[in-house]
């Protein structure tokens, strides 16, 4: 593919000259030294310096979190504060190294140091086990960290990634799939959808819907949450057969088996089940290319009755105003997967409009780093 001509943006503009002056000033060691000695500028310089240092140290911070989870420190500290030696004995980590980990975890708010020298759970560490699936997702991140080991190669060379091999279903895998792989995949999907369901349902009003079809719904975690919140709503799950196998058990345990239908199939090759007056796509679109998204939305439009609703819930890019979760995390995660991308609400709206949907609305959630919601209707 031919590269765009890099000279087309080189026309001199006044705002560019101002930008160049400002950038040159900030890059000047002399200016930085002056700023450090000037009270107002020093506060700004210190704040910028701290932010840059946090970026430099960010990978190490994430590894402290990974060790905190992998060593089950939240469980070891759940009943009482413990000494370094006690934690070392319980985890098999040498005391001198455990001391460094405890100090680091304390600095990050995962732990706190008591007056007697023992360590206890900090607010973040105490809350972590109470967030469904969070620990499991943190453990899974070792795959992404390995893929990002050489970030220049990652962005420049588009190498084959371990993460892409971990999510075979995203690429339309079918046939016989290793049961252990399917189980790990399905559990991670269920864990993430539990978080997403709570956030999405806080901004959705599903009254008036008689049947909800959840496409790509995995083991039914989202439908289970919907069914518990809306007692009269019929639920229909559609996903690949190896993925949906545990769904019936989940529905039965939740007392929803009399209201649920489970259909195995691929939205790539099969028509979607008809008869629903609402379709949900929960963390589905960002896994796929624009071509696949256009195809799926067209199939969703065809399957819905007139006036039916489509609900899209997933983390989203900030678009013209990039955000940390959508652009500095999920954007890279999708890139490592080798397909899909984090889209802004405006981009999703454009795809919905092209598929024939109307009354498109963006529902902002309290925790957009977990999910945002876009709704629309079939005219």
Question: Are 325 and 294 part of one and the same domain?
Answer: yes
Q: How many CB atoms lie within 10 A of CB 297?
A: 24
> Which CA distances in Å does 279 have to 29, 235, 361, 377, 378?
57, 10, 15, 10, 11
- Please tell me the total count of domains within the chain: 2
Q: Among positive and negative, which fits the CA dihedral 67, 122, 101, 76?
A: negative
Residue that is last in its domain, among 96, 128, 160: 128
In a domain, 115, yes or no: yes
Question: Are 32 and 155 part of one and the same domain?
Answer: no
Question: Are 275 and 180 part of one and the same domain?
Answer: yes
pTM: 0.84
Question: Are 108 and 251 part of one and the same domain?
Answer: no
Please report, for the domain that includes residue 80, its CATH number: 1.10.10.10
Residue 1 confidence (pLDDT): 43
Alpha-carbon distance 23 to 273, whole Å? 56
Question: Are 346 and 197 part of one and the same domain?
Answer: yes
In a domain, 200, yes or no: yes
Q: Which helix (H) or strand (E) holds 41?
A: helix 39-70
Report which of 230, 242, 231, 252 is spatially closest to residue 311, judged by C-alpha positions. Answer: 230
Residue 48 confidence (pLDDT): 84
Tokens encoding 225: 């949450």
Task: Supply the range of the domain harboring residue 244.
Answer: 151-378
Residue 182 confidence (pLDDT): 59
Q: Among positive and negative, which fits the CA dihedral 367, 372, 377, 378?
A: negative
Longest dimension (CA), the chain: 73
Question: Are 246 and 282 part of one and the same domain?
Answer: yes
Please report, for the domain that includes residue 176, its CATH number: 3.40.50.150
Question: Are 238 and 306 part of one and the same domain?
Answer: yes
Alpha-carbon distance 321 to 374, whole Å? 18
Q: Which helix (H) or strand (E) holds 236?
A: strand 234-239
In a domain, 1, yes or no: no
Question: Are 197 and 107 part of one and the same domain?
Answer: no
Residue 35 confidence (pLDDT): 75
Question: Are 34 and 103 part of one and the same domain?
Answer: yes
In a domain, 138, yes or no: no
Report which of 342, 293, 316, 329 is spatially closest to residue 200, judged by C-alpha positions. Answer: 316
Question: Are 123 and 161 part of one and the same domain?
Answer: no
Residue that is last in its domain, among 69, 96, 128: 128
In a domain, 90, yes or no: yes
Q: Are 108 and 61 in contact (CB under 8 A)?
A: yes
In a domain, 327, yes or no: yes
Residue 192 confidence (pLDDT): 73
Q: Look at the block and give the residue holding tokens 């430099």.
A: 56
Q: Are 205 and 375 in contact (CB under 8 A)?
A: no
By CB atoms closer than 10 A (0-12, 13-18, 19+), residue 125 is: buried
Question: Are 166 and 228 part of one and the same domain?
Answer: yes
Report the chain (379 residues): mean pLDDT per 10 consecutive residues: 54 78 80 78 81 93 97 96 98 98 98 97 93 84 93 93 76 55 65 85 96 94 95 95 87 94 94 96 95 97 96 96 95 92 97 98 94 96
> Which CA distances in Å does 194 have to 3, 167, 191, 203?
43, 19, 5, 15
Alpha-carbon distance 167 to 216, whole Å? 13
By CB atoms closer than 10 A (0-12, 13-18, 19+), residue 320 is: exposed
Question: Are 121 and 239 part of one and the same domain?
Answer: no
By CB atoms closer than 10 A (0-12, 13-18, 19+), residue 367 is: middle
Residues sharing a CB contact under 8 Å with residue 271, sequence separation 6 or more, in sequence order = 299, 302, 303
């Amino acid at each position: 593919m031919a590269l765009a001509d890099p000279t087309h943006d080189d026309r001199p503009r006044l705002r560019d000259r101002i930008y160049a002056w400002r950038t040159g000033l900030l890059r000047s060691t002399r200016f930085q030294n002056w700023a450090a000695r000037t009270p107002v500028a020093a506060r700004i310089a210190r704040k910028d310096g701290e932010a840059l240092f946090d970026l430099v140290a960010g990978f190490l911070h994430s590894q402290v979190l990974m060790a905190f989870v992998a060593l089950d420190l939240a469980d070891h500290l759940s009943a009482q504060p413990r000494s370094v030696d006690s934690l070392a004995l319980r985890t098999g980590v040498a005391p001198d190294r455990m001391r460094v980990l405890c100090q680091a975890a304390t600095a990050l708010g995962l732990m706190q140091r008591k007056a007697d020298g023992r360590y206890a759970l900090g607010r973040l560490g105490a809350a972590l086990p109470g967030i469904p699936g969070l620990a499991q997702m943190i453990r899974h991140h070792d795959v992404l960290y390995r893929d990002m080991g050489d970030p220049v190669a990652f962005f420049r060379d588009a190498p084959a990634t371990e993460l892409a091999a971990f999510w075979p279903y995203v690429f339309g895998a079918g046939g016989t799939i290793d049961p252990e792989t399917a189980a790990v995949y399905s559990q991670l999907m269920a864990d993430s959808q539990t978080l997403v369901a709570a956030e999405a349902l806080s901004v959705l009003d599903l009254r008036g819907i008689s049947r909800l079809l959840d496409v790509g719904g995995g083991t039914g975690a989202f439908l289970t949450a919907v069914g518990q919140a809306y007692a009269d709503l019929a639920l229909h799950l559609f996903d690949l057969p190896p993925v949906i196998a545990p769904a019936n058990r989940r529905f039965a345990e939740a007392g929803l088996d009399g209201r649920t239908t489970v259909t195995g199939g691929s939205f790539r090759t099969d028509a979607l089940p008809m008869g629903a007056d609402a379709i949900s796509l929960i963390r589905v679109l960002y896994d796929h290319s624009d071509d696949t998204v256009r195809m799926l939305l067209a199939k969703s439009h065809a399957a819905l009755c007139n006036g039916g609703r489509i609900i899209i819930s997933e983390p989203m890019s900030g678009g013209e105003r990039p955000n940390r979760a959508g652009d500095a995390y999920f954007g890279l995660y999708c890139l490592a997967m080798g397909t899909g991308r984090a889209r802004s609400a405006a981009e999703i709206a454009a795809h919905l409009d092209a598929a024939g949907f109307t009354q498109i609305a963006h529902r902002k959630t309290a925790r957009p780093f977990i999910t945002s919601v876009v709704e629309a209707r079939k005219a």
